Structure 1
Amino acid sequence: MTPQIRRQVLAAVALVLVAVLALVQSAGSVDEHRARARTADASPVDPVSPALERGRLFDGRMFVAYYGTVGTPVLGTLGEAAPWKAAARVEKAAAPFRRAGLPAQPVFELIVTIADRYAGADGDYNHDVPAVAVRRWMAAARQSGALLVLDVQPGRADFPSVARRWAWALKDPNVGLALDPEWRMHGSQVPGHTIGSTTGWEINLTSRWLQDFVVARHLPQKLFVVHQFRRDMIRGIDIVRDRPDLAEIQHVDGFGTPRQKYATYRAVARPDLFRMGFKLFYDEDTPMLSAQRVMRIRPRVDFVSFQ
């Protein structure tokens, strides 16, 4: 079985399990989730984490993230434990990545819009995690000194419209945004049946909205992560714009042997446009690279996540 087919099989299984979990956890529809978000929007903004008080995010340290979604390990390690336990686990995982005399910065990358294999009431093939659950992760990140990145899988919706659904959470200075083009469908495509894609133009639309959002609310610089493991996942990547109030990361997600991972990284990496990210898979990597080997990768990696 090739890595691509294996990824699609794993994705299809994950989507089924997550969809079942969503039906149990959420009291129903996407509309209800959005109503909760609108209610949450009226609450006060949380204070700035000490991680952001210095200004620019890229100051030499490594950002180390646990990736996943609420209440299930199917889509990543973040769902294996409650927020407070996950904070301790990511802190431990980050410790070996100390660099430039600085401790590594823990991050939660939480999938908050999850692509579905079924259209749903609004036909966009995605559903949102309930706002109350996201608030628990926001509180855990703030109290543990971590940052939180909201990962969106838009299905047949577009990235800017899905990102705007999370404006209430992005008001928090400690919260950033991640785009996952693998789950951006077009035409009749269905999540889990095909590997999706986006364009440099759509990334720019999303980053411009987030940049304007940060400036209008006098927020500190935010993490802005774009996932990729194949060149054709981002068409027209050369036009991606630099946004001074966003710390922009191209996160390379290939799994397999070290040789396969390095080959994917070299084929995809665009350090002229982004700072670089790299993903480590507990189960799919054979073997998983050590912190020391990750820190020797060139172009240099500034953001590493575990799944």
Structure 2
Amino acid sequence: MKHKFSIARQVLASLFLFTSFSILFIACSQSKSQDRTTSADTTAQVAKVDSVATTDSSAEKAVTYPPLDTALYSQKVAFLSRADTTEYWPVKAPYPRAGAILPFSRIVAYYGNLYSKQMGILGEYPEEEMLRRLKEDVKKWEKADPETPVIPALHYIAVTAQGLPQKDNTYRLRMPHHQIDRVIEMAKKVNAIVFLDIQVGFSKVQDEVPKLEKYLSMPNVHLGIDPEFSMKGEKRPGKEIGTFDAADINYVTDYLGKLVKDNNIPPKILVVHRFVKPMITNYKKIKTSPEVQIVMHMDGWGPPAKKRNSYRIAITHEPVQFAGFKIFYGNDTKRVNQPRVMSPEEMLTLYPQPIYIQYQ
């Protein structure tokens, strides 16, 4: 019990990291040009995807998926860019393995850490209340875009950046496995998938991702990596915005790809957070593969115009594969004097349409 309280105190002590760069996001001087708002009708038949399979990752018990409908896949990808073929979108990438979630379904995720009520909605409310709210947000998206099934998700911060060095000077703290197990059990109650998020601090993805292999080998568990807290220089997390290079991301996709092949499971989804360009370097060298679907996720907060602008600069103009968008229930309203957060209908006007939505 003493160990649990110690971890909780360390997580709470690092909360300032989640607000340190928010002002930088608001202050970014970016273009005021408007988002593309072209649209296209679609009659694509929506593919059904099992959101949660068994947590047994053995090949003998793996779910068998029908062959990929490549025509439908291409149609859905084109629809996300509203059939407006430009120099940016849609992105050319290999067809995924059978059982791929994207772009057949949209993911709506709740983000946070169970030790803190301030790091996201996942830990802010009691379990039943949180799951009830998640189901309500899923229904809103189903209403806004009836053509695209919605899969709920719990996006849990499994490695948190810290303001203190820790014993190994990595400035990161790994959450105990019993907390990850708890999140997976929560997800089962609403047929949700799970994302484990990593903030490496002065550690590296090469050291942190393998620690989660037993979970990432499960077909219903995916990964998120946060360059904001990947420190390449001497300044600790919270003092400047961190960065990942394409080489870091490619290591992760190669690692996940091997797990997919070895365990005979559907493609993994890798969410990469980004709200300013320097958070990712050499984006054109990021590799795509049939085993991993990459979502570049705009996770800056602010008024709608600022969020749209950051999405355009960090996501639209530097395409990788799929796009994501984050809503902050607190920072998008109280801190910028806005009456409400952006609605699903408003987010669907983004170019390209985000296929992964995260609420914090």
Question: Shorter-chain TM-score category?
Answer: 0.7 to 0.9
SS at structure 2 position matched to 1:119: coil
Go from structure 1 to structure 2 and tell me whether the alpha carbon gap of 1:89 and 1:69 turns closer, same or farther (over 3 Å shift): same
Go from structure 1 to structure 2 and tell me whether the alpha carbon gap of 1:147 and 1:80 turns closer, same or farther (over 3 Å shift): same
Q: Show CA shifts across 1:213-236 (max 9, x none).
A: 111111211211000001001111
1:295 maps to 2:341: no
Question: What are the ranges of 5 or more consecutive residues in structure 2 without an aligned counterpart?
Answer: 1-6, 15-54, 68-97, 333-337
Identify the structure with bigger relative contact order (alpha carbons < 8 Å, sequence gap 6+).
2
- Taking the TM superposition and a 5 Å limit, the aligned residue runs for 1:42-53 are 45=57
Let me know the Cα RMSD of the aligned residues. 2.7
- Which residue in 2 is equivalent to 1:32? none
Go from structure 1 to structure 2 and tell me whether the alpha carbon gap of 1:145 and 1:186 turns closer, same or farther (over 3 Å shift): same
Q: Which structure has the larger Rg over C-alpha atoms?
A: 2
SS at structure 1 position matched to 2:123: helix
Q: Which moved more, 1:226-235 or 1:206-215?
A: 206-215
Q: Show CA shifts across 1:94-138 (max 9, x none).
A: 111123534311011100000111111111111111100110111
Following the alignment from structure 1 to structure 2, what is the Cα–Cα distance between the partners of residues 93 and 51?
28
Read off the aligned partner of 2:298 and give its amino acid letter.
Answer: V
1:158 maps to 2:204: yes
Go from structure 1 to structure 2 and tell me whether the alpha carbon gap of 1:68 and 1:20 turns closer, same or farther (over 3 Å shift): closer
Contact 2:172 2:201 in 1 (8 A): yes
Match of 2:116 among 42, 64, 72: 72
| Aligned length, in residue pairs | 273
Contact 1:153 1:181 in 2 (8 A): yes
Cα displacement (A) at 1:142: 2.7
Cα displacement (A) at 1:198: 1.0
Read off the aligned partner of 1:279 and give its amino acid letter.
Answer: K
SS at structure 2 position matched to 1:166: helix
Go from structure 1 to structure 2 and tell me whether the alpha carbon gap of 1:119 and 1:20 turns closer, same or farther (over 3 Å shift): same
- Which residue in 2 is equivalent to 1:304? 357
Following the alignment from structure 1 to structure 2, what is the Cα–Cα distance between the partners of residues 71 and 125?
18
1:247 maps to 2:238: no
Cα displacement (A) at 1:187: 3.1
Question: What are the ranges of 5 or more consecutive residues in structure 1 without an aligned counterpart?
Answer: 1-15, 24-42
Cα displacement (A) at 1:81: 2.9
Read off the aligned partner of 2:284 and give its amino acid letter.
Answer: D
Following the alignment from structure 2 to structure 1, what is the Cα–Cα distance between the partners of residues 10 and 64?
36
Following the alignment from structure 1 to structure 2, what is the Cα–Cα distance between the partners of residues 115 and 140?
24
Following the alignment from structure 1 to structure 2, what is the Cα–Cα distance between the partners of residues 50 and 84?
32
- Which residue in 2 is equivalent to 1:284? 331
Read off the aligned partner of 2:320 and give its amino acid letter.
Answer: L
Q: Show CA shifts across 1:22-69 (max 9, x none).
A: 89xxxxxxxxxxxxxxxxxxx954987999997111143321111111
